[in-house]
Amino acid sequence: MTEPVVIVGGGFAGVAAAWAVARSGGAAVLLTDRAGASELYSGICDGDAPSDDVSALAQSLGLVITPELGAVATREGLIRRVYGRDSALLDLEEQAGKQLGVVDPGRDDWDGELLARSFSATRWARSTNTRFRCVALPLLKSGAERRMAPYDFARLLETPERAAELARTLAEVGGGTDALLFGPWLGVERELAAQLSSAAGRPVGETASGPGGVAGARFGRRREAVLAAHRVELRAGAARAVEERGSTLSVVLEDGSALAARAVVLAIGGFVAGGFRVNDGGVGSAASASLELPIALTLEGELMDRATSLAGQIARHGGFEPLEALGLAVDERFAASTRLPLFACGDAQAGKPRTVLAALSSGIGAGRAAAGVF
């Protein structure tokens, strides 16, 4: 059994599976294609209270896990209660009962006055007597900075000159606020929120990001560090098929070459990530996975092993909800087959919650099971 465990998909679930295999003493190879849901997430980690293992892994991915529910702000003016967040997001729970400044640099996509009013009107703010007020900070140097995407603005603010200038500005901002809340602009490579907090002498942090924002980009960067630290081989590219080869499995890559695997963990994400797709009408199953598998998909508890009408399922529910539930059925050990060493986790599982903490937790479980450690 010298073959590695091969993990297909490098989102939160795949990284967690690789981490668990490596920590169990096994060799892991992680194959990943394009960005998935993990690179689109907001920096908020939804899901149930996490285990110690999930907390340990989350920390090495730059996330903060709290034993009690914390509170974070969204760009839409809401406050959400969660157990986990990207470390750059401001923890509002620690500021309960205080006065917070909502920084307004003058961007077109951000209205500090309106957001401060909206945060102040939330049930959380009223029940904790927390107040928000707008702090106008003219940080922009050109018209382009008013309109550029939040990700690009974040990259600009973390350049050495801009970061130093921002730190000086915050050191001079007068009193009256106990913490400063920025939009999702506090860098990708640098720990800008932490640096600015020490310059300002009070906590400085962000709201959640929109899809394609800084939180997902930070995940991508930290993933590489975690995998390298655990000697997981990271390969870019898509897997085309998983095939049976005697007592082991073989993962066929795009170029036709094959990787022998003692077990395979499918962390291919859901419909959004391209892990599953809806097929054209006609012959075959109505949906399929992004690679050929020796097992069938499940939708609402039914095996999709023959031509069925997914359109019919969608119409019955009056929306695209079934696509969220599409995936691979697994047992309590994340096994997707009773016969083959094939496991699934994260959004690739049929009908399971699709959140960051659920992806980490199921990824660790699937990785352990694939490594033969229960």
Binding residues vs ligand FAD (CB under 6 A): 8-14, 31-38, 40-42, 44-47, 211, 238-239, 267-269, 272-275, 290-291, 346-348, 354-356, 359
SS3 329: coil
Distance between CA atoms of residues 18 and 313, nearest Å: 35
Element (H, E) at 183: none
What's the min distance (Å) between Cβ of 65 and ligand FAD? 12
SS3 96: coil
Cβ closest to ligand FAD, residue 211 vs residue 284: 211
Residues with Cβ within 8 Å of residue 161, at least 6 apart in sequence: none
226: its two tokens = 């975690």
Cβ closest to ligand FAD, residue 4 vs residue 11: 11
What's the min distance (Å) between Cβ of 268 and ligand FAD? 4
Distance between CA atoms of residues 61 and 225, nearest Å: 8
Characterise 97 by phi-psi region: left (phi > 0), alpha (psi -120 to 50), beta (else).
left
What's the min distance (Å) between Cβ of 350 and ligand FAD? 12
Cβ closest to ligand FAD, residue 93 vs residue 104: 93
What's the min distance (Å) between Cβ of 34 and ligand FAD? 4
Cβ closest to ligand FAD, residue 156 vs residue 370: 370
What does each C-alpha distance from 162 to 124, 139, 308 come to in angstroms? 34, 9, 57
DSSP label of 95:
G
From 369, 264, 279, select the one nearest 326 (Cα to Cα).
Answer: 279
Cβ closest to ligand FAD, residue 170 vs residue 304: 304
Cβ closest to ligand FAD, residue 56 vs residue 78: 78
What's the min distance (Å) between Cβ of 163 and ligand FAD? 26
Distance between CA atoms of residues 179 and 106, nearest Å: 19
What's the min distance (Å) between Cβ of 344 and ligand FAD? 9
Tell me the HSE value of 87 on the side-chain side, using a 13 A CA sphere. 21
